[in-house]
Amino acid sequence: MPPINRQVLLKSRPAGIPQAENFELAEAAIPEPGDKQFLVRNEFLSVEPAMRGWVSAVANYATPVGIGEVMRSFTAGTVVKSRHPGFAEGDKVMGMLGWQDYAVSDGSNITRKVMETGLPLSLSLGVLGLNGVTAYFGLLDLGMPRPGDTVVVSTAAGSVGSAVGQIAKLMGCRTIGITGGATKVKLCTDAFGYDTAIDYKSGDLDAALKAACPRGVDVYFDNTAGAISDAVIKQIATGARIVICGTASLSSWDPWPMGPRVERHILVKRARMSGLLIFDYAHRYEEAVGRLAQWIRDGKLAYREDIVDGIEHAPGAIAELYRGENLGKRLIRLSSE
């Protein structure tokens, strides 16, 4: 086990996408758990688009990470010392323990104990973590797909999008994935079962969408906002459901970015646009994780991980995500030496 606690601290507040230089590596003593506390050794650190919001000073759903504080992050690890009656040494946990080797917890920042047998711990940060759970509730509760619906997913090969596409297929929908580049297009059709995959970086997105969705788009699961959404909204069918899950394509919200106005499309098509924040579904995580884990065991739900070794890769990892460099859920694996 590492003899010190390596940490990634927020050094400066980014304007837009957080870059490596907004963070710094630091070392601290391994903390001691007090009464009703326990010590977790993190094995995997998560990297996700939402981190942009967590370090932004712009009004948001979460208090921003303070300058000099450990970067907020989901992590998965093992309880290595416990003075808490509910957590025993050896328990696997997933929670908001930050970009660091060790964290002391009283349980309040633990999202869940990881109980899935026979599946890697890393999945608790991806397809069995917030990504899969987001796909599950966003698609089923807000998207309300029906068999025969045409479902369009942006960042279709990503860790949320790939699960959305596959769950929509399980529901009997036609799935159209929008992604960037030939490699991800191939991943969409070969690994994630999309009926059609569209490369937004090549050719005419409007024409490709029109050809793929002759009866219009019934459900649009949106991870990007921006130009991709503008193209999709032109093709929505009457009664369409638009799930706003992320805004990856927009680099800043200050100043407020401009785009084509959606009101007329929403009105004429009697569509519904809903925002999803997965923390609202915390009380139902186990429902989703149970289903998702079973689909994985049954070979019905594929996933990809893109694991990088060493905490020194964390500072640049958010920017890499926004550049679309990863193929699969980006995780940082911490050295066990």
CB of 264 to a copy of itself, least distance (A): 5
Q: What is the DSSP letter of 223?
A: S
Which of 29/59 has CB closer to a copy of itself?
59
Exposure on the CB side of residue 129, measured as CA atoms within 13 A: 29
Tokens 């100043």, residue?
A: 255
Place of tokens 């519904």: 272
Nearer to a copy of itself, 215 or 297 (CB): 215
State the nearest-atom distance from the C-beta of 319 to a copy of itself, in Å.
Answer: 19
* Minimum CB–partner distance for residue 140 and a copy of itself (Å): 16
CB of 234 or CB of 304, closer to a copy of itself: 234
The 3-state DSSP class for residue 2 equals: coil
Shortest Å, Cβ 108 to a copy of itself: 22
Q: Which amino acid is at 8?
A: V
Task: Evaluate whether 69 touches 36 at the Cβ level (below 8 Å).
Answer: no
For the bound state, the minimum distance from the C-beta of residue 234 to a copy of itself, rounded and expressed in Å, comes to: 8
Q: Which is nearer to a copy of itself, 1 or 268 (CB)?
A: 268
Residues in the chain: 337
The 3 state secondary structure assigned to 178-211 is EECCHHHHHHHHHCCCCCEEEECCCCCHHHHHHH
Phi-psi region of 251 (alpha: psi -120 to 50; beta: other; left: phi over 0): alpha
First CA to last CA distance, the chain: 5
| Closer residue to a copy of itself in complex, CB, 211/268 | 268
Please check whether residue 221 is in contact with residue 179, taking contact to mean a CB–CB distance below 8 angstroms.
Answer: no
Q: Would you tell me which residues interact with a copy of itself (CB under 8 A)?
A: 53, 59-61, 222, 225-226, 229, 244-247, 250, 253, 256-277, 280
Nearer to a copy of itself, 40 or 233 (CB): 233
CB of 190 to a copy of itself, least distance (A): 30
